[in-house]
Amino acid sequence: MSSEDLERYETEIELQLYREYRDVLPLFAYVVETERRFYLANGVEVHTENEGGQPYFRVELTDAWVWDMYRPARFVGNVRVLTFKDVNIEELTSPNP
């Protein structure tokens, strides 16, 4: 497989992932972004922890979808993320009918 074939394959996978994201977005209440991943979720809890003077975040998501092109199943019942970086959470609003 040439580098062009690999690049073309990865581009197609990313396009499929974007289309899936666009289709499932209305099913979720929150968008959550961490340093490593992007999630959609219906339940979000963020806990600030401190161990040895080093603060970090423990993020618990329920009924989630993970933006990861290498993951065969992106729907996940529960996710727990530990991060020392910022966590961005946006509550999605339903469009007015």
Give me the DSSP letters along the chain: --HHHHHHHHHHHHHHHHHHHHHHGGG-SEEEE-SS-EEEEEEEEEEEEEETTEEEEEEEEEEEEEE-TT-S--EEEEEEEEESS--EEEE--PPP-
Question: What is the model's pTM?
Answer: 0.82
**Residue 94: what pLDDT?**
61
**Residue 26: what pLDDT?**
95
Tell whether 97 is covered by a domain.
Answer: no
- Counted domains in the chain: 1
Tell whether 66 is covered by a domain.
Answer: yes
pLDDT tens-digit profile of 12-22? 989 999 999 99
Which ranges of the chain have pLDDT less than 70?
94-97
**Residue 10: what pLDDT?**
86
Tell whether 42 is covered by a domain.
Answer: yes
Q: What is the extent of the structural domain holding 47?
A: 3-91
Tell whether 96 is covered by a domain.
Answer: no
SS3 43: strand
Residues 6+ apart with CB under 8 A from 1: 9
